[in-house]
Structure 1
Amino acid sequence: MVPMPSGKRPAGPFTPLDFQLVLLRRMADHNPDLVEDARRTLGVSIADMREANKRWQAMVRSSRARPAAARYRSVLGEPESTAARRIGDLDCEAWQWPVPLWSDLRFEVLVGPNGQVWNEWLVRAPGAEGPELRTLADLGPWSCTVDEAARAFAPARPLEGTAPTRWGLAFTAPDARGVPHEVVAEFAWGLLQRTRVGE
């Protein structure tokens, strides 16, 4: 991706670049340094990130807002892939788009039969090698997705997020010496942001 000059960009259609800034804005509370590096990679300013988030929130909350599934198609274009998926007794479609900031991840939206969006988060790209999650040391910021952590440290208990697009997991994970610890992991848009370790 060619970086754009820093500074306020002219208003125009909401683009996939703008959407990446929305993802970063939600992560900035936990990992400002990582977000700063990513923002520089994209060649945009803090003002650009704030403006993109402001525009996104306006779209989501507008009384004339289009359905979430249509909004994602409008912003991100046609999905890179679509696949039928069954969750429990319910059928849905998984739509995935590439995310240039994280080439081994995809942004996934689960869409029910009535067009309602059930879930929206980052997942590992098909065919991409996921991380080896064995100990606490492997759980660094942005190292894994919700489902990867849940599988690696099963059984994991889902926790209510502190805000929209945030998730939590509680599980037990060993340290480097093999001593188990209770862990609460916090995710934004499905990507690990931080962990809190108990005894």
Structure 2
Amino acid sequence: MEFGVRQFELALMHRMRDLNAERVAAGIEAMGASRAELRAAHTQWTRMIHVRKGAAPLRAALGPPAHRGPQPFGSLTCEVLRWALPSWPGLEYEALLGPDGGLWNQWFVRPGAPAAVTFEELTAWRCVVADVQASFPGAAHREGQAPHHWAVDFTHEGAAYRARFVYGLYQRLDRVGG
């Protein structure tokens, strides 16, 4: 079975299902895919990333990146690769490669400046980590509970919330505490 953009999107959705099963079900339906195809894509992707390292699996699945360039981090210069994916228009999937070519991070980003979003505009699959960080002063980043999960804690109208992300893509909002 060939592994391309469609299969890659399904592999991403497999992990997103951890936090937003309903949105993933709607996404695979919109693609005309099945749950079996979702599982098969995840299995094949898992095999690919264990055999090929760095950005090689991403390049094999997605082709040449739409954007490629240096990204300085202190005294290090990393390489950033980005691809547009059909299921998430307006966003790009970004891979950050260390100086040795190792894959340091991969997640969705918004090209250019983060979008300003209101509390009411927090919608699954439309926001990325940087959007929430920029929109809610005092927001704090947290590690997620599984690989490729991330969280951002913030307050709104005196209540504490945790925005949950998979691959940097917003999935759901949880109230924290009381």
TM-score normalized with structure 1 length: 0.81
Which amino acid in the other structure matches residue 132 of structure 1?
A
Which amino acid in the other structure matches residue 4 of structure 2?
T
1:23 paired with 2:23, answer no
2:159 aligned residue:
181
Alpha-carbon separation, structure 2, partners of 1:14 and 1:197: 38
1:106 paired with 2:92, answer yes
1:76 aligned residue:
62
CA-CA distance at 1:90 after TM superposition: 2.4
- Structure 1 gaps of 5+ residues are 1-11
Which shows bigger deviation, 98-107 or 23-32? 23-32
1:146 aligned residue:
129
Which amino acid in the other structure matches residue 183 of structure 1?
Y
Q: Secondary structure at the match of 2:87?
A: coil
* CA contact 1:165–1:188 (8 Å) conserved in 2: yes
Which amino acid in the other structure matches residue 134 of structure 1?
T
Task: Indicate how the Cα distance of structure 1 residues 149 and 88 shifts in structure 2: closer, same or farther if over 3 A, else same.
Answer: farther
The percent identity for this pair of structures is 34
1:115 aligned residue:
101
Alpha-carbon separation, structure 1, partners of 2:159 and 2:74: 31
Which shows bigger deviation, 113-122 or 66-75? 66-75
Alpha-carbon separation, structure 2, partners of 1:132 and 1:126: 12
* CA contact 2:141–2:152 (8 Å) conserved in 1: yes
Which whole-Å deviations, capped at 9, do the CAs of 1:66-120 have from their partners, x for residues lacking one? 2131121111111011122122332111100110011111110011121011110
CA-CA distance at 1:157 after TM superposition: 1.8
- Structure 2 gaps of 5+ residues are none
Which structure is larger by alpha-carbon Rg, 1 or 2?
A: 1
Alpha-carbon separation, structure 1, partners of 2:142 and 2:32: 35
Alpha-carbon separation, structure 1, partners of 2:43 and 2:56: 19
* Structure 1 residue ranges, 4+ long, deviating more than 4 angstroms after superposition: none
Which whole-Å deviations, capped at 9, do the CAs of 1:129-178 have from their partners, x for residues lacking one? x643233x222322310111112113322212111111111122x2xxxx
* CA contact 1:142–1:191 (8 Å) conserved in 2: yes
1:94 aligned residue:
80
* CA contact 1:144–1:192 (8 Å) conserved in 2: yes
Q: How many residues align?
A: 177
Which amino acid in the other structure matches residue 164 of structure 2?
E
Tell me which of 160, 166, 169 is aligned to 2:149. Answer: 166
Task: Indicate how the Cα distance of structure 1 residues 19 and 194 shifts in structure 2: closer, same or farther if over 3 A, else same.
Answer: same
C-alpha RMSD of the superposition: 1.8
